[in-house]
Structure 1
């Protein structure tokens, strides 16, 4: 059986990045933190914390990070008997965050939200590590301990001013342009902001993949053209979240599905 004081200490070490900072947060000595972590590791039979700067969970410890977060969420819900004081950590791709995702959060206003952003093909990694409780992801492989709901596909069009040869990418994880063109894209500009990325294409800095509903409005306004009118790229998106019977997560899941529906292809 897990000792919950040891589990809370383990979570504090991972959250703060050091035994000393965890001791300050828990109002105990660093020696007490070290003893609790060692006792937890003995009971599990695995090294759970990589003693580095900052301290991070080992692969064996990542499952325990998820479990500690789940326990903390259920405890907060039970103590509050509502959503007051509940914090939900979510990872979402930048395009969804820039367009349809925030209305889902507004529809469930009780919790405090902590948002992380990453490419949709990498967001599930934060679920696996226990950093996030839920994710908008392109990964349809169910993370252990999670449920998955298909949201639909985000459709992208290749857009830019006529004659541009350089590409605009969100960051070095952004592979949409490579996937659309079938390989190399030549010169590239990296613009790690959803709004600035769109503005770079509008200003003629290069071409890039733009969500269809945004692209149609810009094309109609003459800001740029669809470079390949007969082609598009669909990216399936999924909602994965902890399977722990949380009322807040269930309500948020319904809100996410409703918010995504008008913007994604079935």
Structure 2
């Protein structure tokens, strides 16, 4: 049998980032937390925490933390049926770890998160990753749910279609005149400075292939921030794909223009979540699906509402 006091110590260290903060959360001394984690490492025969600032879980440690999350979720479900157990063995409000892409977080996801937290009292631990890679977080057990571009259910998970996040390729008026005088031709796309979120960001390349039939290879500014993309386009740093919801007002006012008017890119998104059957995860799913239906492009091309 696993030592759940030791597992709780491990999860607190990883969640809070240090043995001292974990001790405060658990109401014990840092020495006690260290002893529990060390005993658990000896039991499983491998290092579970990389000590540092902050402390980080190893692959094995992350698996055990995921197990703790699932146990806490199920314990919370039992407590709703047996109120006398409420709070027993808990080290604070229930926290759900969820993977979400930055553009969803910056547009439609936050109202769903806020409504869910207000209605349930649960907390969210949001993990940012590209929509093409959030499903890997589910496969590893690191998160309980994810906004993902992958429609194929991860083993042990259910999936719900959310709709598509619509992007527009935008630039400042001066930038478009300088870089795309004849529109997004292959030559112009090869020379114009492009914005990319990180080394895994494929959106600009997908758009260029769809519009001009070319593989994008251009001078690149790396900018890992959703709002930073908008600001960079406004400042004339380069061109890039922005969620339409974030740039509609700028387009209407003429502060930004589309590189190819009307040629937009829709990225279908899905909600995948663990098959645990916990009510709180079902509550989160309902909140996310409802928010997506009012904000994302639904089948047929219209934005929900």
State the alpha-carbon separation in 1 of the partners of residues 282 and 259 from structure 2: 41
CA–CA separation in structure 2 for the residues paired with 1:230 and 1:29: 57
Structure 1 CA distance, aligned partners of 2:49 and 2:126?
27
Tell me what 2:39 maps to: 35
Aligned position for 2:187: none
2:289 to 234, 247, 257: 257
User: Where does structure 2 lack aligned partners over 5 or more consecutive residues?
Assistant: 80-85, 180-191, 210-214, 299-305
Change in 2 beyond 3 A, CA 1:223/1:19: closer
Task: Give the structure 2 partner of residue 56 of structure 1.
Answer: 57
User: TM-score with structure 1 length normalisation?
Assistant: 0.80
Partner of residue 90, structure 1? 98
Show the counterpart of 1:177: 204
User: How far apart are the structure 2 equivalents of 1:61 and 1:98?
Assistant: 30
Give the number of the structure whose alpha-carbon radius of gyration is greater: 2
User: Counterpart in 1 of 2:83?
Assistant: none
Shift, 1:204, TM fit: 1.9
More helix by share: 2
Matches within 5 A, 1:1-266: 2-5=2-5, 7-12=7-12, 14-15=14-15, 27=29, 28=32, 30-39=34-43, 41=44, 49=47, 52-53=50-51, 56-58=57-59, 62-76=62-76, 78=79, 79=86, 85-108=93-116, 109=118, 110-160=121-171, 161=173, 162=176, 163-164=178-179, 165-182=192-209, 183-229=215-261, 231-266=263-298
Supply the distance in 1 between the matched residues of 2:64 and 2:3 (Cα, whole angstroms).
Answer: 12
Check the 8 A contact 1:17/1:56 in 2, yes or no.
Answer: no
Structure-2 change in CA distance of 1:180 and 1:220 (3 Å): same
Query: 2:188 — aligned with what?
Result: none
CA distance in 1, matches of 2:15, 2:248: 43
RMSD: 3.1
Q: How many angstroms apart in 1 are the aligned matches of 2:271 and 2:195?
A: 27
Question: What is the aligned residue count?
Answer: 257
SS of 1:253's equivalent in the other structure is: helix
Q: CA deviation at 1:184?
A: 2.6
Alpha-carbon deviations, 1:124-154, whole Å to 9, x = none?
2333344332211112333333222111111
| Structure 1: stretches of 5+ with no match in the other structure | 42-46
Question: Equivalents in 1 of 2:153, 2:46: separation in Å?
Answer: 23
